[in-house]
Structure 1
């Protein structure tokens, strides 16, 4: 087959370019991910996590108008319920043109946003059922079930995301044994080989070949346990994969040199910005960061910058200020903000800080108004955008390592503790509960028996009740009848 008639490989449908020569050892790196028809993404960068296709608390128009979110991660388990043929998800039935993505159309995302689809949400919920040789366990809105590898490939073909994260036989919530680790590698190897063959096989013509980019999984195991899998990724499957997905930071150290030019998407679930910096220092390009949404849910307004600002003159004069690290955020539930009319962060240009003040945010939280979490989410994503912009500039200057050390000396090692109650929890996104466990959400509505008893007590005690007439109210001295 000549070069003019050869089908496009995934590498030719997208372009990941390292802006500087790839470092020979683990080191931060600058890159540019360009997907056809989408806004190019400069790396390192974050991928925003969604719930059922939307960033939590942020409507689509708010996301477009008040954030700089340019890539989204979508979990397939959010959209499917019972296994075929008993149920066909509505998203699969959506009429689409040949050039359209059913996933993009269903969740109404703009064309410039990069959509990354994986089998499970991030962070995933531990399932009591186990993976099999042909399927992985998922949690849908109606319970646990198996997602067959063949059905996942069908979902990729029907929904056409920009990037798909390959199936991986992951063990969650416990450390796998020796035999289980062998199964993990064999099954993930088989998932990857079958998926790339059916999506991009040489026997398919140009129209049949998927335009979705495949990110092959790298298991959270040692290099020696995945040698055969890596060998096939390098030799047989190299033309079919466009990136790597990793589940712990240690996996960045075992990537073969021949695969070093591929973008690396990390699902390691960093807990703090310090963890994010460590991921970047090891060569991560794209990172999902659950603590952004968790902070917003907890009423925490993120407050950190990179590189860390120098101490002010009044702070330098006191040794205590040097030894006490700055907090990574502000707990807006604190009563100290009840009358504070300053913005969340001085100098922040996000919509929340320009239009509202701390006292208003605290009032919204106390009143359980949904707007509270929307405004916090806008601010927290703006904070992370500025953070990653500064990280890329630091790498380009060659001062990244020094800036990281300064950041770690300046800021506290953990986010502030949540003291208030966040938004109402959703059962399908929570770990399964066992018998006799207390309810996670307080009761909102209850029976009227208690109210009826209080009403009866009021009547017997002579207290005025809403059903008494004007004469009786006047007789009891509660009011005076006019006319």
Structure 2
């Protein structure tokens, strides 16, 4: 699920596709149960496309609870401590079983920082797993995306991208970013990597989703993004506007009758004031978290729609300049 909101509310925000997490779905409620109940679309009530990631990021974040081998990764469930193994073939099977529309190969999310030697070994393993994943596919009505790794070493990113393009996939994800590096480092990796990926296949930046990151990614040729930013920030009281974000718990909003953002047509802005949203947040009301999330989803939906329009009209550079100009004006206020 998208935390706190219904599929209809997600769709109304302009979203056309959602992401499911293979790791969490495998552990609870389980892929076989989901399949027995009609698959992920019926189970969740979402009638659009669903992309499922490999669960690799979550597995590799369990630093003390997992062991990496050439065959896959052995890990302990953070729920009950039971032992499990993810192999490239098993991860494909799980995603096919639950009915994913876009399936992602298992990869190792390289920690930051990491040595060249570790990164090279990890990148080689990701490439081997990608080949095994492609051979394991049984359903050909879904798309298979690989993941470009290589850390922050230009030659390893180029090596990984070249090998994956030669193998051939339906889409190319770029992983291992937004893991603690600077923005300049992130953008440098994109500058190096994106031109090496086929322009006629989707290019997907994983785990990156701040507005400025999206714009910089699109400028560099990225087509798809996923991130918890709209929902997680909403639950924490951070609301996005064209002028920047507002922190709704700030005392200045105690008697503010204006909506979160003038001109926003989301349910939250059309019905409620900043003062009311602050009251809900400070009172710990669940409704406040839902309303914050609804607004943030609409903000990102409008942002992506505006970006698509700018691309179609050949004015993405001007759009980017205006985005930062409005942000700068907001910072002065």
Instruction: Report the TM range for the smaller structure's normalisation.
Output: 0.7 to 0.9
Equivalent residue number for residue 23 of structure 2: 77
Equivalent residue number for residue 55 of structure 2: 120
- Aligned-pair distance for 1:147? 1.9
Aligned residue runs from structure 1 range 72-471, under 5 A: 72-81=18-27, 90-94=30-34, 102-110=39-47, 113-120=48-55, 126-128=61-63, 129-136=66-73, 140-143=78-81, 146-172=85-111, 174-199=112-137, 208-221=138-151, 222=153, 224-225=155-156, 229-235=160-166, 237-238=167-168, 241-247=169-175, 248=177, 249=186, 250-251=189-190, 253-255=192-194, 257=196, 259-270=198-209, 272-304=210-242, 326=243, 328-411=244-327
Equivalent residue number for residue 463 of structure 1: none
The 1:197/1:277 distance shift into structure 2, 3 A limit, reads same
Once residues 239 and 162 of structure 2 are traced to their aligned partners in structure 1, the CA distance between those partners, rounded to angstroms, is 45
The 1:258/1:344 distance shift into structure 2, 3 A limit, reads closer
Say whether the 8 Å CA contact 2:235–2:289 is kept in structure 1: yes
Once residues 256 and 282 of structure 1 are traced to their aligned partners in structure 2, the CA distance between those partners, rounded to angstroms, is 8
Q: How does the TM-score come out when normalised to structure 1?
A: 0.59
Once residues 30 and 196 of structure 2 are traced to their aligned partners in structure 1, the CA distance between those partners, rounded to angstroms, is 43
Structure 1: state its 5+ residue gaps. Answer: 1-53, 82-87, 200-207, 305-325, 416-483
Deviates more, 1:276-285 or 1:220-229: 220-229
Structure with bigger helix share is: 2
- Aligned-pair distance for 1:176? 2.3
- Aligned-pair distance for 1:104? 1.9
Equivalent residue number for residue 43 of structure 1: none
The 1:329/1:124 distance shift into structure 2, 3 A limit, reads farther
Higher relative contact order (CA 8 A, sep 6+): 1
Q: How does the TM-score come out when normalised to structure 2?
A: 0.83
Q: Secondary structure at the match of 1:276?
A: helix
- Aligned-pair distance for 1:149? 2.4
Once residues 414 and 133 of structure 1 are traced to their aligned partners in structure 2, the CA distance between those partners, rounded to angstroms, is 51
Q: Secondary structure at the match of 1:80?
A: helix
Say whether the 8 Å CA contact 1:252–1:283 is kept in structure 2: no
Equivalent residue number for residue 183 of structure 2: none
Q: Secondary structure at the match of 1:74?
A: strand
Once residues 413 and 290 of structure 1 are traced to their aligned partners in structure 2, the CA distance between those partners, rounded to angstroms, is 27
Say whether the 8 Å CA contact 1:220–1:251 is kept in structure 2: no
Once residues 149 and 57 of structure 2 are traced to their aligned partners in structure 1, the CA distance between those partners, rounded to angstroms, is 16
Once residues 244 and 140 of structure 1 are traced to their aligned partners in structure 2, the CA distance between those partners, rounded to angstroms, is 30
Once residues 288 and 180 of structure 1 are traced to their aligned partners in structure 2, the CA distance between those partners, rounded to angstroms, is 27
Say whether the 8 Å CA contact 1:218–1:251 is kept in structure 2: no
1:18-46: CA deviation from partner (whole Å, max 9, x where unpaired): xxxxxxxxxxxxxxxxxxxxxxxxxxxxx
Structure 2: state its 5+ residue gaps. Answer: 178-185
Say whether the 8 Å CA contact 1:160–1:211 is kept in structure 2: no
The 1:413/1:232 distance shift into structure 2, 3 A limit, reads farther
Say whether the 8 Å CA contact 2:35–2:97 is kept in structure 1: no
1:337-384: CA deviation from partner (whole Å, max 9, x where unpaired): 222222221221111111222221111112111110110111111111
Number of residues of Structure 1 aligned to a counterpart in Structure 2: 315
Aligned residue runs from structure 1 range 58-77, under 5 A: 58-64=5-11, 66-77=12-23
Say whether the 8 Å CA contact 1:157–1:210 is kept in structure 2: no
Once residues 147 and 188 of structure 1 are traced to their aligned partners in structure 2, the CA distance between those partners, rounded to angstroms, is 13
- Aligned-pair distance for 1:269? 2.3
The 1:147/1:391 distance shift into structure 2, 3 A limit, reads same
The 1:274/1:153 distance shift into structure 2, 3 A limit, reads closer
The 1:349/1:168 distance shift into structure 2, 3 A limit, reads same
Say whether the 8 Å CA contact 1:156–1:212 is kept in structure 2: no
Aligned-residue RMSD, C-alpha: 3.0
Say whether the 8 Å CA contact 1:78–1:140 is kept in structure 2: no
1:287-317: CA deviation from partner (whole Å, max 9, x where unpaired): 113321232022122111xxxxxxxxxxxxx
